[in-house]
Structure 1
């Protein structure tokens, strides 16, 4: 049995590693060992200054591949709210001014939408996933998950804006779905599944 191929996931979020692991397992892709940023020596990370999710995902994946010599997968994702002309978009993780402040970001979004009627609260979660190989080969995929922004939080699962996002056709927030339910429908699940053939080819 050959040694597994190490694949760097450019994230310190264990939920993102677990999500990709579930997607690979569901596709019966074996022989891939996922490695998080906490498991490799620190390296300088280029600021995510891209104007699109795709550009930011590539920035992260290129950095990881160059620094470690491993194939690297990265995602950039966020929520695009119709009533805010597609914002927060690529600024989702730092909407309130500081990166990764989920509570503050969500509170600001709810406040900005306080006067927006229910029929105009449409939004979409967007994810772009990039796979960059040490030889420079690049693959980028995209997924979108439509729904509406609720008026208050519900559920304790997920992360980011999940507690206030209710997918189209459902009555529970993304934070109330099981991991398997979320994988099947979510923006990142769609983008990761589209990336599976390129990941499987690493073996």
Structure 2
């Protein structure tokens, strides 16, 4: 069955994370879609009770779409470290604590890996599920994954979250050896987990 097409001009970004909103807004810009965040609309943040990225993305998208009576796009994403059995995974934001301190979160990840005695390369993935929901309850969901490895100490001033400690495999293969945090936004957008999920979304739901 073909995916439902997005036919409007306004899309709610179901996030209160400024970094995510900015990144998704940049990706939407070429499609002449006005992106408005859940934070701007004063929408509450629903409790993320899903056990997967897909479940949480769909939960957030549907809650925002029905609250705003507009189509809404939600992202649930995080970093999964092989040596930590996929942690922090869906709890990536929670590892940053109530203050959303990702320097603390990155240190916590690194200490956990060291406690396991894991030898480099320390493999990890960034995973992103994007869900587009309509007020009538219809949802389209797409997932993107980018493989990489951890670097220590965190490097770079770009991006957000765990970007400064994650080096995608494409950087290893090219010999540039940059973390996501060292890559200008336009370069990260071309290869990131979010960009991969976004391409699937655009191909299926946008003209």
TM category, shorter = 0.7 to 0.9
Unpaired runs of 5+ residues, structure 2, are 1-7, 172-176
After superposition, residues 90-109 of structure 1 pair within 5 angstroms as 90-98=90-98, 100-109=100-109
Aligned-residue RMSD, C-alpha: 1.8
Secondary structure of residue in 2 paired with 1:169: helix
State the distance in 2 between where 1:128 and 1:99 align: 24
After superposition, residues 1-203 of structure 1 pair within 5 angstroms as 5-25=9-29, 28-30=30-32, 32-40=33-41, 42-98=42-98, 100-114=100-114, 115-119=117-121, 121-170=122-171, 171-197=177-203, 199-200=205-206
State the distance in 1 between where 2:40 and 2:96 align: 29
Q: CA deviation at 1:8?
A: 0.2
State the distance in 2 between where 1:163 and 1:45 align: 26
State the distance in 1 between where 2:26 and 2:43 align: 27
Residues 62-116 of structure 1: CA deviation (Å, up to 9, x unaligned): 1101111010000000011010111111011112543622111111001112232
Q: CA deviation at 1:135?
A: 2.0
* TM-score of the superposed pair, with normalisation by structure 1: 0.88
Equivalent residues of 1:24, 1:196 under 8 A apart? no
Equivalent residues of 1:94, 1:101 under 8 A apart? no
Number of paired residues? Answer: 193
* TM-score of the superposed pair, with normalisation by structure 2: 0.86
